[in-house]
């Protein structure tokens, strides 16, 4: 077993994931405000030519807006999907240029990764980049406050992971989302799995479970009288 595989296996153990989720709640990473009946659905690792357009259609039918944390290398390959995502009223954040774990990047390489992504997205979209999600949700050696001061980009974690990177059925995803739905929730989902070629089981590169879960998630939002909005809307101060 390679070191990569070993690390992935260790860091996806339920006990470890649980620990990370508990620990991350105490990190100085933005989380949703609680005062409004709104949540943010966030999709990491795209754009993907097969899954992202289908997810955009499903979100439109659900009348939901989301935030997509895109990987720079995938943006180079499919800029038109990012433009279409924005055109449909969703927000674009960065998931760094090559989806490297921040813990394996020294500060200079981290700055390069973020600067490159930022220039790429700002040139493409013609608006300032506001949001960053660290690959794997791990800031590593980076201090999110310093990153915000230097780059003007806020790091945002999730309050709840749907664990859809390992889900095979829509109900696996929607039942997880049900457990995490509350005002201010930031839900982690995936419209692609950038490292799917590099890691084996338990990851599922096929995103059909996530796609098929969107109508059920929309129904849950209706039941809870929650609206799915972009991160900028969720964190608006007015
Ligand atoms: Zn990712």
Q: What is the pLDDT of residues 27-37, one digit of tens each?
A: 434 455 566 79
How far away, in angstroms, is 45 Cα from ligand 1 center?
5
- In the numeric block, which tokens belong to residue 47? 């754009």
How far away, in angstroms, is 38 Cα from ligand 1 center?
24
How far away, in angstroms, is 150 Cα from ligand 1 center?
23
- In the numeric block, which tokens belong to residue 17? 């994931």
User: For the whole model, what pTM was predicted?
Assistant: 0.85
How far away, in angstroms, is 224 Cα from ligand 1 center?
28
How far away, in angstroms, is 190 Cα from ligand 1 center?
8
The pLDDT of residue 121 is: 98
- Answer yes or no: is pLDDT of 217 > 90: yes
pLDDT in tens, 84-140: 999 999 999 999 999 988 888 888 999 999 999 999 999 999 999 999 999 988 888
- What is the number of other CB atoms lying within 10 angstroms of the CB of residue 126? 8
C-alpha–C-alpha distance, residues 98 and 93, integer Å: 14
Greater model confidence, 144 or 12 = 144
- In the numeric block, which tokens belong to residue 34? 């609680």
How far away, in angstroms, is 136 Cα from ligand 1 center?
5
Domains and CATH numbers, the chain: 3-234 (3.20.20.370)
The pLDDT of residue 131 is: 97
CA 63 to chain centre: 19
Q: Give the SS3 label for residue 92.
A: strand
Let me know how many helices (H) and strands (E) the chain has, helices first: 10, 8
């Amino acid at each position: 077993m390679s070191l990569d595989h070993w690390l992935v296996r260790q860091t996806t153990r339920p006990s470890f994931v649980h620990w990370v989720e508990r620990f991350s709640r105490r990190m100085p990473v933005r989380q949703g405000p609680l005062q409004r009946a709104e949540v943010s659905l966030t999709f990491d690792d795209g754009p993907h030519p097969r899954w992202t357009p289908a997810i955009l259609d499903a979100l439109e039918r659900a009348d939901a807006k989301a935030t997509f944390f895109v990987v720079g290398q995938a943006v180079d390959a499919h800029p038109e999907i990012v433009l279409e995502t924005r055109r449909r009223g969703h927000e674009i954040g960065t998931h760094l240029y090559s989806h490297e774990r921040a813990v394996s990047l020294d500060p200079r390489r981290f700055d390069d990764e973020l600067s490159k992504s930022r220039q790429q997205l700002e040139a493409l979209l013609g608006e300032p980049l506001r949001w960053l999600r660290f690959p794997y949700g791990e800031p590593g050696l980076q201090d999110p406050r310093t990153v915000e001061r230097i780059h003007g980009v806020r790091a945002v974690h999730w309050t709840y992971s749907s664990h859809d990177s390992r889900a095979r059925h829509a109900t696996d995803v929607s039942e997880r989302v049900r457990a995490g739905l509350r005002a201010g929730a930031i839900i982690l989902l995936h419209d692609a799995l950038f490292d799917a070629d590099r890691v084996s089981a338990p990851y599922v590169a096929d995103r059909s479970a996530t796609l098929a879960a969107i109508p059920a998630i929309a129904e849950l939002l209706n039941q809870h009288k929650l609206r799915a909005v972009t991160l900028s809307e969720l964190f608006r101060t007015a």
